[in-house]
Structure 1
């Protein structure tokens, strides 16, 4: 077991930089460590190595959810807090809303379900508060005012410091953000965690403009196109990849298209020209898109995580960024673009 990390190494040029999360005072590393597979495909030893590697590189932002590996992700992360790293070394983020069990409060965005989910997360994480609590999805069966009242209660209780959402489309994000800012004393939303990469740019239609209007930071999940942008699938499906897993194969397959192949080729060409990896190019591209605060990166092991961290050293030249913008561009029409 690793010794507890009580101090960080001296600053170096390749350490992870930090940004404000939306229009808030919370500063986070501009790369977040995702833990979706912790307690499942990622063992305790691998998770420990990842967390140590991330903290030593200057990372602070760690993201999980109550339903990741049926709660095992939170349990494993909680076991490492205090044992491997001090709680105050990380910005701890988790989520609620997704269905955990069949009980009356086992999922959804009702007041009772959300507050029950929060208590469960705190118990599994072994902490008295989380720094960022995110609504994992919009629940059309519950009035948004009720959902937001639970958010306000969580913050006023001291169990949550900041609140965000995940997978909200443009009108959902604007509705929730407007309600919170229009009522004095209610907690503003600071983030929206959404899929965003060179292969999935749909949020540029309405989500990104809505986030900019309301001062909400974007946290891209699957910033590597579910692994496809690394180029690992160009010549088949590696046996140790998610694409070879019965559980994750459909998830990866969505981005294995002819369009994706053209984009992957462009990313690989850029990487060769820059003397770096396709992973670093793809990650640097999404990291520096307007409104983005911190891509959420999951890794199989510490070695793979170090490759992601190497993107901190990369700033894409304007010509390469423009070429990637062009090859991955999406159609924007009415009403995203006003009539001529």
Structure 2
């Protein structure tokens, strides 16, 4: 097809006048050939969130339909909103009505409608949630989470993200971290600490490189790193090796830091002792005898 032909084809697509109307649900038909498919309403995912949103707010964004004939319309964009409306027993839905068009124009317009959407950046979502919380100062965390249709844990993570240093946010955007990676990374930051010559900022740069190399990308990878750094004093050599070798993955680090049976018991003992000390609980006579024996034994290993 020549450039002239391409231009003439584009010239056939002109803006249509705005025509909005509430149409009866029964006059609207779904399009079985739509590229984006509708999933379960009650599955707990995005569609379930949309259902709850429409239940509380109604349909904020009109469904786009094309006229087939008098009294018949087919959906161009808005199948999920339409499915929710039927589930909620709506009699009418707000629509933007396009005139009847040929199949080529129909598909081209639908592609433009759906292709030009851009998801929120995580920091934009975090800032918006902050504004909502600021307006509802007397609402608790659960009420705010219910209002926007997310879990309290996600609300907390977005709060953490908003409080993250700007240079870290810039790094996350520069390295194109997905939203779940940004949340995982934000939760990891407070656990990081200096390891030998590696300062925290050095460690962060290394972690971003490992993300680029696909050695750190799953939610479980960030969880593993958080656990390892939580006991950095026990795992310093393994962490140092992980940071020094660009080829070592988080999975390999996890394997290197697996504790033996006796190490696990000692860690549990340390934790229990710390709890007693923090609560001001004295050791019993039997515990004192056991720890005296343990202390004598430990001296032989030192």
TM-score norm. by structure 1 comes to 0.20
Looking at CA atoms only, which structure, 1 or 2, has the larger radius of gyration?
A: 2
Q: Higher helix fraction: Structure 1 or Structure 2?
A: 2
**TM-score, length of structure 2 as denominator length:** 0.22
